[in-house]
Structure 1
């Protein structure tokens, strides 16, 4: 009994010491703990008192003390100390105290918390040049939330950064807090905008090997100029200038100056004039060349020599850090293409200051081979899953294929069925060598009904109408009805195409058309149909075979027309034509691509063994390439500038008799030399009217930039002409045009409106022409 009593007394003393030392002491306080050993005592209850807006369960989730656990008094004090720190770290409370008392044969731990005030409202004072709505978009502190000093400081930084990006470098922002009733606070953000400033000069010191112009071209920060109100040049941004220092160093290291150093910029403020002058010091050092190139690791997967043969860097060449980074990425991609999705490639450099060389070792940690797990498709509310899966270029259970995933993204985007395509790779839980692929899609409207009116110099007014569906029944079928009427032509076309017949990678479709064209000396009425087959040879290369059967009838023949036109007036001529073609297409979008290539080769034959009244051979080749050059410009206004060029050549001739006049070639429509009418180019008859030719050539270059919404602004330069056989493709006989235009995505398809000017205007010609087009041509 005596031993039992002593035990009870020890426990009580220990408990009282613990309760006294833990009570009302914050996290940073000092706990005086009884040093006598004590048995573990069970926690019967954990309570949170004083919380009003923060839920009790939130606090209990983060603390470690829990009901049912047993602690000695030393363990309990240490755990309470840690829990108090944790509660403070939540950022919701400004005071935390702890009580411990006996409860149901054990202990009860009570955390007394005092919440920080709640933000009642946020107001602004002093903002004149930037609207309040725009400022509110930068706020990280929100009304009706518990105040947090870190988010208030972040908000102040964000607002100041917003003003700096708008040219107000000297803007100052202060957060003023005013306590309200019921533990609330009002925040007033006091803004002193200051005067708008601009960068007057950027000066470099120490640059001898690289010109000031080249260094400025590598930077995003720029001096103010005449077009600053459009290009936003001359605006000072601290974080962008810090990045520019790295860009300058990369520029030097990409030209061999391996040890070039770039000092911190000196910003000289001229508040009276609202100008900033920036001085950047550069230590260029010596130019280094490539020494040895070595690849360590992964030799059993890819022989090092196979990789080195594709390097951009070679021993003896000038060192280029940019090329080294690209070579590193190429090594990583090569391993990823062989299933090593997480291959880690780290280049290390070793400089020989005496020989002025840099040796590079690419250290490869290939990791484990990774396999494709489950491929899941989400978000396709209308498009059938097989339509999506036939664009997927990876196989479940196969080795990981980075190129296949890249191709999958591009093919899904090119369908134009979806506004957003995400192909996400996720490690499967519990497995380090399986990646599940989640394809998330956002369906977009694919059908349209519309009508429009346009104008161009030759045809006058143009009335168009269209019904179009690019994803009929969610099966990927394409159907369209198009019609147009103008002063010199009428067109009606009905088309249907299944781009992947029975999911077998070949297409099947057809067209029915009626076309009436008015030429200067005759009219041609043409009607017929076409059936089209296509087969995918690779992901980017498709072979097509089309057969067309049509009739043509020549009417309203002028007395000055060519004799072969006069001879067939009123006759109905049958044309039977076979058109094989190859199309190589790597564009990332059908309508407004910013990268990729479209190359078409399309010969055709009419008559001969195919029958009919017209015996004609025809050949067309068309190359188009697209480049996003905005990324290489230092003008932030032109970041999305796309450059494209097109080279097209056509040739036709009769392989029996003479070529019918209505089969002669013109440059018109989407293959116009803009600035020229159809009748301005090529051979003419005895009355001076254009009669077309047997060959055409067209070279076109465009600069395209987004404008507002679905519109694009265009600047272009065209060259080309129409020739007979004897002077086909005579480059000394080219005609030149240039101008500006606009592109708009409409329900009828892409709308094109261009104003072209002749650069080599001849006597009697109009100086300019207006060109209008919409949808697809036939």
Structure 2
């Protein structure tokens, strides 16, 4: 009974294949071999006949066979230019009949608001859907699905995409993607079950995804994305593993979307397992006879709950140590010895150093603009030297700090046929390094300002810097031209030229049209003393001219008499900087220090001035950070003359002591003008907390602060009783134009003559 049906089932595909082959090959199928006298092509409209002839495996004078005909058909179809191809035999002539695919005349998008249309056109052209390209329905379907996928990544689950193909004259088509985007799908609920040690609210607080709040329009935390959920699951797992729950696992995750595709519900099921305490750490395997040195790298502490972070950091320290000795493929395994009844674990680290290798060759890839030498000179791992993991990591960091690339990665590849050689390939992804900026701004101190700059950090791929900066603020107007060669010498000494024209007015003057015009030229060299410390040496010439007479303070009148007009100086400078912060714009940990000293021993103006600043950031948790800042400045006149007033320091306002008007601290002359002083002290503390509704977003934070400091004149001594102090709260936002701070202050220590300004803001650095 079943045999006929089975036979029939087998015959159907065979028959279908035979019919298909017959329709494709027609008279070219089952033809006796013969010598071709001619080849004709019919049906061409746009394609060149040479394209057809180039794809055919036979020529006039060749012997034509069925195999050659079938090969020719496959080759012509593979060009993607033809919808149908046939080979007909007319005597000793092969007639190739083609039907060309229609060409795309225009690609249009209707209803797209979430994505830029120009970017969509470019993306589709890369996959074969673009003006002037042959139309392929399969590629159009693929483009439609990819477009939907991009919308789903933006939480637009109700999106609908309809592809319309409209024929046009001369065998062309117009391709239109009509998009109905719908509303953004929001997370309605997140539930965690199975948790006992920690409350659900505590665990939800670790996640970046939320059910929304009044700031969700900014944080987008209520918009579901699989990548975000996976990251949050890893965060929860880490939270448990760092608190002793070694066998914690996430059993399942369910994501449900409502029928109207507007709401998403997430359910996470976990099993905590017992909590383990570390009883000891044991090393097993080959530690190159340096067991004690490796043991000193262990951060796991017996008697404390198990922490996965400590095990991971110990493993990294071990592999880095092995890599420093040339063991690029060393394996360090963590094998816990569990005592479930007592809730104890013995941490066992097993090491297998494998073999020692050296670097045969260092390759550079991905740099279409930047020259190889610009990248290679940052490398501390040399060719034909033993593999050193620390030097390789340092090399990657140094290339990344150049600022020319979006991404920098180093891959280690074994050399085939050898057991002790590897090649290193550093792959970079370049980014634009030129910057043309025209802008305007407003601040509580400077009022309306216009800025413009033209900068190129990587001129012609050479790694050199060239820049022009212009600023037209109320109190300070500048034009600066500068150029830097970071490798003026082969050992990394940099050289910088700078020419500047500055016009400044003392802050908070009650009247007067006077100003200080400064013209300067400087050459500065930077010498790398260590991988993290750079010392700067420089020399320059500077002229300061006090212009105007109306309302001119007595101090400025005396300065014009004492130092001349213009007053000339030849400052020599030395500086040092070290930065270990995790971010320049919004740091959460690390330290920053800088020291600068200027001395002018020649010219009509002779002086010495120095400035030291130190910042420390202390993270209390993922969301809370304490920032400390201290700065002290001092200047002294030389050659029997006083310290020049146009070199004074100023205090008050953001960056010094908030709650006081900008540059209003320090000596005041009889006309009521604020002169600044030759001594300045600033002490600041800020405690950052998450902004309500922003979750764990660090670009928008609240902070409370306490400031203290003052400015003293040359005839005054630094005294604690002269310090001004304030406390307050503020908002820190990493805006598209830079870090912005808005603060409200309550002065705690002030005097009757002080100018109070409670609300202040600025766009600038952290402190």
Coarse TM-score class (shorter-chain normalised): 0.5 to 0.7
1:581 CA drift (Å): 1.8
Structure 2 counterparts to residues 374-389 of structure 1, below 5 A: 374-378=361-365, 383-389=370-376
1:211 CA drift (Å): 2.7
- Maintained 8 Å contact 2:459/2:465: yes
* Counterpart among 331, 336, 339 of residue 344 in structure 1: 331
Q: Secondary structure at the match of 1:218?
A: coil
Aligned to 1:115: none
| Change in CA separation of 1:243 and 1:733 when aligned onto 2, cut-off 3 Å | closer
Aligned to 1:506: 493
Aligned to 2:242: 254
Q: Secondary structure at the match of 1:503?
A: coil
| Change in CA separation of 1:619 and 1:415 when aligned onto 2, cut-off 3 Å | same
- 2:247 and 2:287 map into 1 onto residues whose CA distance is 31
Aligned to 1:97: none
- 1:207 and 1:306 map into 2 onto residues whose CA distance is 40
* Counterpart among 577, 580, 583 of residue 583 in structure 1: 577
| Change in CA separation of 1:434 and 1:661 when aligned onto 2, cut-off 3 Å | same
* Counterpart among 675, 680, 701 of residue 695 in structure 1: 680
Q: Secondary structure at the match of 1:678?
A: coil
**Greater mean alpha carbon deviation, residues 361-370 or residues 649-658:** 649-658
| Change in CA separation of 1:512 and 1:362 when aligned onto 2, cut-off 3 Å | same
- Give yes or no for the alignment of 1:335 onto 2:319: no
Q: Secondary structure at the match of 1:733?
A: strand
* Counterpart among 195, 213, 232 of residue 201 in structure 2: 213
* Counterpart among 353, 358, 361 of residue 366 in structure 1: 353
Q: Which whole-Å deviations, capped at 9, do the CAs of 1:316-375 have from their partners, x for residues lacking one?
A: 111112322232222222222321111122211111124321112122221111211122
| Change in CA separation of 1:336 and 1:704 when aligned onto 2, cut-off 3 Å | farther
Structure 2 counterparts to residues 452-601 of structure 1, below 5 A: 453-464=440-451, 466=453, 468-472=455-459, 474-519=461-506, 520=509, 523-556=515-548, 561-563=553-555, 565-566=557-558, 568-569=560-561, 571-572=563-564, 573-585=567-579, 598-601=592-595
1:56 CA drift (Å): 11
- Maintained 8 Å contact 1:713/1:742: yes
* Counterpart among 613, 620, 624 of residue 611 in structure 2: 620
- Maintained 8 Å contact 1:616/1:659: yes
Q: Which whole-Å deviations, capped at 9, do the CAs of 1:619-644 have from their partners, x for residues lacking one?
A: 32234578999x957xxxxxxx9998
- Maintained 8 Å contact 1:164/1:235: no
* Counterpart among 274, 279, 296 of residue 309 in structure 1: 296
1:146 CA drift (Å): 10
| Change in CA separation of 1:286 and 1:732 when aligned onto 2, cut-off 3 Å | farther
Aligned to 2:634: 651
Q: Secondary structure at the match of 2:746?
A: coil
* Counterpart among 571, 587, 602 of residue 596 in structure 2: 602
- 1:120 and 1:528 map into 2 onto residues whose CA distance is 64
**TM-align CA RMSD:** 5.6
Q: Which whole-Å deviations, capped at 9, do the CAs of 1:474-512 have from their partners, x for residues lacking one?
A: 544434444444444443434343322231322233333
- 1:327 and 1:393 map into 2 onto residues whose CA distance is 24
Structure 2 counterparts to residues 162-201 of structure 1, below 5 A: 163=152, 166=155, 168=157, 198-201=186-189
Structure 1 spans left out of the alignment, 5+ residues: 1-22, 27-44, 59-117, 176-188, 634-640, 706-711, 745-750
Q: Which whole-Å deviations, capped at 9, do the CAs of 1:528-572 have from their partners, x for residues lacking one?
A: 433322211122211122234434344445668345753644842
| Change in CA separation of 1:769 and 1:201 when aligned onto 2, cut-off 3 Å | closer
1:412 CA drift (Å): 2.3
Aligned to 1:723: 711
- 1:470 and 1:192 map into 2 onto residues whose CA distance is 43
- Maintained 8 Å contact 1:391/1:412: yes
- Maintained 8 Å contact 2:209/2:229: yes
Q: Secondary structure at the match of 1:403?
A: helix
Q: Secondary structure at the match of 1:345?
A: strand
Q: Which whole-Å deviations, capped at 9, do the CAs of 1:218-240 have from their partners, x for residues lacking one?
A: 34543344444443444556786
State the number of aligned residues.
638
Q: Secondary structure at the match of 2:385?
A: coil
- 1:268 and 1:234 map into 2 onto residues whose CA distance is 15
TM-score normalised to structure 1 length:
0.65
Aligned to 1:178: none
* Counterpart among 286, 306, 311 of residue 324 in structure 1: 311
Structure 2 spans left out of the alignment, 5+ residues: 1-12, 17-64, 79-100, 130-134, 164-176, 692-698
- 2:344 and 2:144 map into 1 onto residues whose CA distance is 49
- Maintained 8 Å contact 2:187/2:264: yes
- 1:128 and 1:417 map into 2 onto residues whose CA distance is 33
| Change in CA separation of 1:374 and 1:586 when aligned onto 2, cut-off 3 Å | farther
- 2:571 and 2:178 map into 1 onto residues whose CA distance is 77
Q: Secondary structure at the match of 1:501?
A: coil
1:452 CA drift (Å): 5.1
- Give yes or no for the alignment of 1:760 onto 2:746: yes
Q: Secondary structure at the match of 1:603?
A: strand
Structure 2 counterparts to residues 32-43 of structure 1, below 5 A: none
| Change in CA separation of 1:119 and 1:312 when aligned onto 2, cut-off 3 Å | farther
Aligned to 1:61: none
Aligned to 1:661: 645
* Counterpart among 395, 411, 422 of residue 435 in structure 1: 422
Structure 2 counterparts to residues 394-433 of structure 1, below 5 A: 394-418=381-405, 421-433=408-420
- Maintained 8 Å contact 1:516/1:525: yes
